[in-house]
Amino acid sequence: MKQSHPQAPDGARSAAREQRDGARERARRGAPDGRTERGRQTREKIADAMLSLLDEGETQFPADRVAERAGVSRRLVFHHFADMAQLQDTAIARRLDQLAAQIKPLPTDGPRQARVAALAEQRARILEWITPARLTMMRLENPSERVEEATRQVMDFARRRLTEVFAVELGRLPGERGADLLNGLDAVTTWGAWHHWRSSGLDPEAARRAMETAVHALLAVTDRPESVTDLPETRPDGPETRPDPGPRA
């Protein structure tokens, strides 16, 4: 007696054909197959293992330690990376990509106090989180173009964000003076200032308050923009000059 084998519904057969056709099309286009995708996932797992060690304060990353944290063999680490320097470079680039994902919109209007507080809170949180990677970057002798480009993009974005959040205040000053203010804001809200405060002994909350205070102090000059235009100017070939006060009584 023959047994009847249940046939898949027409929809299922159609889906199977589409799956086969899709696989052929991906292969034709050179899309990653399962092995390639597994390789990508393994590289990310190894890079994330290094980042987890870095976040714990480690400054040395022996291959055996990274492999143990990633749950892979030492041989597999060097199968995916030429050396530990390349792995370190890849891990830092991955951390910079993760950083971009953490940046959320900030208020661009409303009371200045609220805008400054929102900026300082976000910058403090992100700069504290990125510090281990930044310290590791300082030890890299020859960072890759990928790392350098990602770093430039993050810094450029942070500067543009300042122009958006404080557009009202920056707009009160003439061209060069506005640029000077933006440079000052950039200096006290990026990693260099944060690292200075933290390495000087301030805890994250105290460092955040220092940043917030510095930003308020810089922005205060825009409340009296006429005083900024009266600042002395320095001639390229001589001493500073001051505006002529006019005839004296």
89-124 pLDDT, tens digit each: 888 888 877 877 778 899 999 999 999 999 999 999
Distances (CA, A) of 190 to 80, 120, 122, 218, 229: 34, 10, 11, 15, 27
- The structure's pTM equals 0.67
Q: Give residue 208's identity as a one-letter amino acid code.
A: R
Alpha-helix runs per DSSP H in the chain: 10-29, 34-55, 63-70, 74-80, 84-102, 112-139, 145-165, 167-170, 175-188, 191-199, 204-219, 225-229
Which pLDDT score, from 0 to 100, does residue 14 have?
A: 45
162-196 pLDDT, tens digit each: 999 999 999 999 989 999 999 999 999 999 999 99
